[in-house]
Amino acid sequence: MEVGMRPYGPDWHGLIQNESAGTFKVLTARKAGELVGYFSWMIDFDLESYGTLIVHQCAWYVRPGNFAVAQRMFHWAMIEFQRLNVKMVYLHNAERGRGKTLGKFFERMGAIHMSNTYALKVPWTGKHLTHYDE
């Protein structure tokens, strides 16, 4: 099984270490005691903006048919980020599959589309530049 272009296999040791350090957080949602969603993130300082606390979204899953749960999870997380004095939250969505419409949701929540992310596997066997045109 793959997640995007990567083989699926959580780094449980790394997750536990980061959770112990307070840099990895997971919010879970349950209905009648049954897990219907989770939202995880990493909290860190922006190395390009001294003293600026930031959050990077990690895995976010909500069982189909539970969009209201996703909205409540997002709302709770944003209140928590404000409590922690986070200054920027970096969110992402997939270009394909169930998460492809999250960008529209993020924009409705006030987020601004800032960049596109590209994935490139290493070792790199693709094309190379012979010159660079600006």
Chain centre distance of CA 69: 17
Interatomic CA distance for residues 112 and 91, integer angstroms = 10
Q: Residue 104 — φ and ψ, nearest 5°?
A: -65, -40
CATH class of 2-108: alpha beta
What's the pTM value of the predicted model, to 2 decimals? 0.81
Asked whether residue 14 carries a pLDDT value surpassing 60, the answer given is yes
Asked whether residue 102 carries a pLDDT value surpassing 90, the answer given is no
In terms of Cα–Cα distance, which of 31, 43, 33, 44 is closest to 70? 31
Determine the average pLDDT of the residues in 23-28.
94
* Annotated domain spans of the chain: 2-108
- pLDDT band for 100, please (50, 70, 90 cuts): confident
